[in-house]
Amino acid sequence: MSTLQYLTERHCSSQWRDVLGAFASELADTLDVASLRELMRRVGARFAERFDLGRCDTVADLEQALTQVWLRIDWGWTRIEDNGETLTIHHHCAPLRTALGESADAWSPGFLEGAYQHWFRVLGSSDALALTQVTQIDATGTVAFRFGR
């Protein structure tokens, strides 16, 4: 067993890992990837409704507020790059692969998309701006999204 494997396996409670894995397998057998991704977006938005970010006047404020939500539930942290026209949101150590299995990598990040998109809307972003995944989720649970036109 590698150190990385040990740490990532501890990222999802053993009492839930097999249940969630079976759930993910059943979903994948029933729905196509696009439908699964949309379902996860909706679940992510519903999740985000439970957490008020408070006032975020700067990108640094937003990064800190998002990170506090994720750290509170042991779901990693957020780093945001301001690229002028767009923001790149790096989510580190999401337990998606540990909980749902590697076969869910194509659709499980939709959960994070839905959560981040919801928070951006609540903070006043335009409907013309969207969040899209720009990297695949990796073995550490890190994935990046672009927010912009």
List 87's β-bridge partners, or say none.
Answer: 82, 147
State residue 11's pLDDT score: 66
pLDDT band at 1 (very low <50, low <70, confident <90, very high): very low
Any domain includes 116: yes
Any domain includes 74: yes
Mean pLDDT of 123-132: 92
Number of structural domains (the chain) is: 1
Tell me the pLDDT of the chain averaged across its residues: 90
Q: Hunting for tokens 């609540």 — which residue is that?
A: 122
Top-confidence residue, 13 or 73: 73
Any domain includes 14: no
- pTM (2 decimals)? 0.90
37: tokens are 């991704």
pLDDT band at 5 (very low <50, low <70, confident <90, very high): low
In CATH, what number is assigned to the domain containing residue 94?
A: 3.30.1380.20
Residue 6 pLDDT > 60: no
Top-confidence residue, 149 or 18: 149
Any domain includes 25: no
For 51, the domain range is: 3-9+33-148
Write the CB contacts of 34 (distance below 8 Å, at least 6 apart in sequence).
none
Any domain includes 20: no
Percentage above 70 pLDDT, the chain = 89
